[in-house]
Every structure is written in structure tokens, then in C-alpha cells.
Amino acid sequence: MNICMIGTGYVGLVSGACFADMGHTVHCVDNNQEKIKKLNSGECPIYEPGLNELIKENFRSKRLIFTSNLSEGVNKSDIIFICVGTPTKKNSTSVDLNYVFKAAQEIKEISKKRKIIVTKSTVPVGTGDMLEKIFKNRKKFIIISNPEFLREGDALRDFRFPDRIIVGSNSANSFKIMKNLYLPLINKGAKFFTTNRRGAELIKYASNAFLATKITFINEIANLCEKININVEDISLGMGSDVRIGGRFLRPGPAYGGSCFPKDTKGLVSIANKERVDLSIVKSVIKSNHNRKYLLLKRIDDIFTKNIRNKKIVFLGVTFKPNTDDMRDAASLFMIPELHKRKALISYYDPTGEKKEFSSLKKCSYVSDVNKVCKNADLIILHTEWDEFKSIDFNKLVKNKKFTLYDLRNLYSVEQMRKKKIKYFSIGRTEIS
């Protein structure tokens, strides 16, 4: 099949490369010319394990084409996937659909024959209906919802071995086309689930809100564990062993972040508000997650008995999760500027390099070597659970100084740190001071 991905970001690029690898010819279109230039010169614009190799292979075999020319991509393709961003509107909780509608308008203007248009972007219920209105004078255009569930950091595996493929459409014929497209994945065991278009749109928001609820729930239980001397990991394991609950997304940590959960929980509440439905659970998840940022900050204040000025605070990892360079809504985006305001001296190391998000902070510096960044630290905050942070000899790296380790991902055990005589705080466990 000939496919066009509009938007070559985390979703469009991964899906496009994987579709090409399944044997389809894929035009990846992006209006960010810098991105297209990079891709055409063999450089992957995002960090995602395995993606660079996959792109190179399929680019060489001419199944993967990168272009800023929408007309070329659209007119050579039968199926067009809209994979543009759907961020939260500024000063509001509702979803900004401008990128989606702009892309649709452009497709309408340049497409010469019948097209199948699929929203892979996460879009509020009823967006497909609105797109249908845009194409109302175009005969036989089909609008399908096919939300994407890949997770950054595991994106290739998630795309190639999905639990389910959700296709929402009001036309029976489109299920056949989509099933055919995804057949190699269905043959490997992916469930092909069909519903109407609005149903598919809601499945995506409801799924993300549910996962965010699980994380927030265990974060609150972790707060309780810290007060009553119980190890939260025992609770996660004990709860998660019940197949009705399941162990995934029951690991406590900082406030959830990333490009999906924060915006999709808000988006879902906004969708419900319009219908005058009170999603009180999702609302309290958003509130609890917001409060968590302040709670962790208060703990840091307490570590220094509020005297943070000129203390050297080191962040290990700043992205919202490991194996990605994505900074969207990472907890560090709140914590670092707040600590900077308190006149702390911040240094950070991240395996995906320096971040422009902190470049305006005077006393915040990037150190490109994990072995050097910890030197003379007063506090090390283990923010992201990259593998390379799992076996650090902190005493050796910090050198002769009394320091504290605040492990937001519970990568180390309390016992290990006690033996090493390191002042250690983690999440939902007994503290050593």
C-alpha cells in the first residue's frame, strides 16, 4: 500500500518507519523543514532505541520517503495518517486541534482523488465528525480513527507487537482496508478491535486517563507508606499480582509527565465538561499529580532545612522517562526552575544531552559526563531511571563529602545505601537520615 504520514514526530516517524518495514511505501511529510533535512541526510531527529537503524534500512530500500511536499505525499498515497500534535490550548484545558484541521484543510486542497484519512493523533470525541464536514464536498472520502498507543522508549516494540489495534469507523468497508494494512501484526497476535469512530476516539483518552490514575494511586499510597514505615514495593507487588489489577503502572515516582498523560487527562475532563458530565476521578488525578510536584519540592526543602542557597543539586536524567529525549511535561521542568529560584546551584546530566529548556537559567549547567556531574554534590536527585544510573558508586563519584541521594525511581535499596552510609531518601520507603 502507499501510505502518507502527516507529521513526522514521535508517532508519525515511528509508525511510518514500521509501516515501511512491513513492506508498504511510506511518505513521511512534515512542515518542519529542518526535520526533513535531517532525515534525508541520515540523521534521526528524535532519540528512540532502534529507530535510526530502521529508518536507514527502509530509506535505502526506498520504501521510506521524507518530504515537506504534502502534495507529493498525499497524491501518491491511498491512506493518509494524520499524526500531528494535539497539545492543550494555552490558558485552557481543552485540546488544540488547529494542527489537525490545518492538515485536513491542506489535504482537501491538494488531493486529486478519493482518500482514506485516518487520525492517529489523539483527538477528542467528535473530531472525526468535524473532519467529515471539511471533506463533505469530496465524494467517497472516508474518515477513520486509529489512535496510537505506543510508548516512547519502547515505541518500536509497542508498534510491532501491540496488544490491540483500535479502528473506529462508520463505514464497514474501511475495517477491511485497515485489517489488511495491519495484517502482519494481527497475524502475530494483535487483537483487531473495531468500533464506531467516536468510540475509538474515546478509547484513547479513557485508556490514558486510567493509566494516569494507576500511577497517581500508587504515588498516594507511597506517601502513606512513608509515614507508616511500609515498603511501597511490597504493596505494588501484592496488589499487582492480582490479575484483576495487574502490576504495570504501579511503580511510584515523581509526578507523571510526558507528551500524553498530562494533556490527555485534561483533554478528557474538557470533553466531559462540554457534556456537563463530572469526571471527578480524573479531575482528582490531575489535582493529585499537580500537588505531587510541590510535595517532592517540600521534601527537598526539608532535606536542607529550607537552606538551599548555594547548595549543589545534581539531577541524573531530566526527561520524563528513560530511552527518550522528550522533555514535554517532565517533572524536572518544574523542579529545576523552582530550586533555581531558591538559589541552588544546579547541574544535570542526561544521556540524550543538554536541554534548551534550562538554557535561560543562569546557575544551571549541563555536564556531559555522569562520572563528573556528581562531584561535590550536596544532593543528587535520581530523576529518570536510565540503565546507566542503576549501578553508580556514589561515594566514589561525589568524593569525600556528606551528600544526600534522593532516588525518585527507587533504583537502589535502602539496605544498600545503609551499608554505604549514604543519606538516602526514596519513594514510599523507610528513609535513612
Q: How far is the CB of 7 from ligand NAD (least distance, A)?
A: 3
User: Which long-range CB contacts under 8 A does 54-57 form with residues at least 24 apart?
Assistant: 54/17, 54/18, 54/21, 54/156, 55/13, 55/17, 57/21
Output DSSP code: residue 104: H
Known catalytic residue: 260? yes
Distance, CA of 162 to CA of 401 (rounded, Å): 48
Q: Which residue is nearest to ligand NAD (CB)?
A: 9
Distance, CA of 115 to CA of 177 (rounded, Å): 12
Catalytic residue (one of 4, 28, 83, 260): 260
φ, ψ dihedrals at 204, nearest 5°: -65, -50
Q: Which is nearer to ligand NAD, 7 or 128 (CB)?
A: 7
Distance, CA of 1 to CA of 23 (rounded, Å): 8
Q: How far is the CB of 431 from ligand NAD (least distance, A)?
A: 34
Q: Which is nearer to ligand NAD, 6 or 377 (CB)?
A: 6
Q: Could you list the beta-strand ranges (E) of 343-421.
A: 345-349, 364-366, 379-382, 404-407
Q: How far is the CB of 3 from ligand NAD (least distance, A)?
A: 15
Q: Which is nearer to ligand NAD, 260 or 345 (CB)?
A: 260
Q: Which residues of 17-52 are buried (b: 16+ CB within 10 A; e: fewer)?
A: bbbbbbebbbbbbbbeeebbeebeeeebbbbbeebe
Residue 241 contacts by C-beta under 8 Å, 6 or more apart in sequence?
247
Q: Which is nearer to ligand NAD, 123 or 380 (CB)?
A: 123
Judged by the rule CB under 6 A, the positions of this chain that interact with ligand NAD are: 6-12, 29-32, 35, 83-86, 99, 102-103, 106, 121-122, 148, 150, 152, 259-260
Q: Which is nearer to ligand NAD, 265 or 288 (CB)?
A: 265
Q: How far is the CB of 285 from ligand NAD (least distance, A)?
A: 17
Q: How far is the CB of 320 from ligand NAD (least distance, A)?
A: 10
Whether the Cβ atoms of residue 382 and residue 316 lie closer than 8 Å to each other: yes
Residue 368 contacts by C-beta under 8 Å, 6 or more apart in sequence?
349, 353, 354
Q: Report, as residue numbers or ranges, the catalytic residues.
A: 260
